[in-house]
Chain A
């Protein structure tokens, strides 16, 4: 997909087939995009008899250069559902599931008119009120009924069963790695000993971070990159957002904004203060990252054993090293508040 000599003709042929009403399809320009670590991205300017399109191609790298392994089929099906429910996200237009036309399994998306949030912030964008917009963005996709989600997405039997599996994923990530990871075992034991009050299972984005949101001219967030989405706890994406913000500011859920964020989210979802508060969000700063962490560690392990040759796999192990110090610090700070929340939840029953 990164062969800029070959791809324009392939894209033109693919679109002529996928959009029979378009005649004389021409790819005027095709350029590789940066911004993501896991998938190949490119932007194509396309002219045809009915007008002009700007499209984004999102495809799988070769097997030995994949940072993480995820399903394009699931991502494509989910993108259709999410857009149909009015969630702000670039719409998926076409899909080449096998790569027969585009060289690798590829989703063709509309090009977003929004601006990437991190560069926008670094250029001086104001954060005023954006923590409230963030609450609204999260609530928007979490409101999608689970029965509407693609059948291929795993349905947990219950919140308790889901949490048990999620916490155990920390231990499994250590067992499956090329060496034992004692801090992962501590994290699992600590999370198990400090579970928050239960919450309804919802669609979670799975990689909800500032580099996966864009901002519109009206100041609304648009979500991209749904490849790690699943069904899980509603607080996971909040904690994940906060976790990544520790390494890559801004943190829209910092101490000055988190209470208002929680209040707005509770207002939109009807969840209680025991379920959604700064401490439970911070609990998921630890638990919420496990899906990405296990993928990154698998990538690093495969690099160590020679099965993967993507240098980013090595680089991203640095994120996990950084994360370990953050998870330990968060566990220390949260132990007492989580005990108080658990006691209050028991008292309320």
Chain B
């Protein structure tokens, strides 16, 4: 396969073409709004494509350390297998959050919270800026 341009570059390039070339040809307001939404999602996909599998593995390591559980590894690096495994990681983190609050142990709650803050930071990195186009 050709690995370059990367998926990240291709998606960002498509978004740029839509923004700079296609948008000017759009006549109706609902379609303009749709195109602006597509632009934001495509840029998020671009950032996600570059790091998605690494992000998942990094979070799994944090959750395994937090819970002391062996979360295993994905069956392969194909995305379907990685996502199926990540579901187990997320469930383990959700369970740990509830167990931490049930225990009343503030240090345990704080540790779970730190894992959630790291998760949220990755989500915000993928999201970039949010523009609620079409509202109002």
Binding site for B on A (CB under 8 A): 32, 34-35, 37, 116-119, 174, 179-186, 189-190, 192-193, 210-211, 247-248, 311-312, 314-315, 318-319, 321-322, 324-325, 328
The distance in angstroms between the C-alpha atoms of A324 and B112, with both chains bound, is 15
B residues 121-136 in Cβ contact with A at 8 Å? 121, 123-124, 126-127, 130, 132, 134-136
Contacts of A184 in B (CB 8 A): 94
Chain B nearest CB from A167 CB (Å) reads 12
Asked if B6 CB lies within 8 Å of chain A CBs, one says no
- Closest residue of A by beta carbon distance from B91: A180
Q: Which of B12-20, B32-40, B71-79 contacts A (4 or more CB under 8 A)?
A: B32-40
**A315 with B37, Cβ < 8 A, contacts A119-B136, A180-B90, A185-B97 known:** yes
**Are A35 and B130 in touch, CB under 8 angstroms?**
no
The distance in angstroms between the C-alpha atoms of A186 and B120, with both chains bound, is 12
**Are B101 and A189 in touch, CB under 8 angstroms?**
yes
**Are B94 and A181 in touch, CB under 8 angstroms?**
yes
Chain A nearest CB from B107 CB (Å) reads 15
**Are A34 and B120 in touch, CB under 8 angstroms?**
no
Contacts of A314 in B (CB 8 A): 41
The distance in angstroms between the C-alpha atoms of A174 and B94, with both chains bound, is 9
Known: A182-B119, A190-B101. 12 other contacts (CB 8 A): A32-B30, A34-B134, A37-B135, A118-B135, A119-B136, A180-B93, A248-B135, A311-B34, A319-B130, A321-B124, A325-B123, A328-B116
Contacts of A311 in B (CB 8 A): 34, 37-38, 41
Contacts of B132 in A (CB 8 A): 211, 247-248, 319
**A189 with B127, Cβ < 8 A, contacts A248-B132, A315-B40 known:** no
Chain B nearest CB from A121 CB (Å) reads 9
**A180 with B134, Cβ < 8 A, contacts A186-B113, A312-B37 known:** no
Number of chain B residues close to chain A: CB under 8 A: 38
Contacts of A325 in B (CB 8 A): 120-121, 123-124
**Are B37 and A321 in touch, CB under 8 angstroms?**
no
**Are A183 and B116 in touch, CB under 8 angstroms?**
yes
**Are A321 and B127 in touch, CB under 8 angstroms?**
yes
**A182 with B135, Cβ < 8 A, contacts A34-B29, A189-B101, A314-B41 known:** no
The distance in angstroms between the C-alpha atoms of A12 and B121, with both chains bound, is 54
Contacts of B121 in A (CB 8 A): 325
B residues 86-106 in Cβ contact with A at 8 Å? 86-87, 90-91, 93-94, 97-98, 100-101
The distance in angstroms between the C-alpha atoms of A186 and B113, with both chains bound, is 8
The distance in angstroms between the C-alpha atoms of A287 and B67, with both chains bound, is 27
**Are B136 and A117 in touch, CB under 8 angstroms?**
yes
List 21 A–B pairs whose Cβ atoms lie within 8 Å, in order of A's numbering: A32-B28, A179-B83, A181-B90, A182-B97, A182-B115, A182-B116, A183-B116, A183-B120, A189-B100, A193-B101, A211-B132, A248-B132, A318-B44, A319-B130, A321-B123, A321-B130, A325-B121, A325-B123, A325-B124, A328-B116, A328-B117
Contacts of B112 in A (CB 8 A): 186
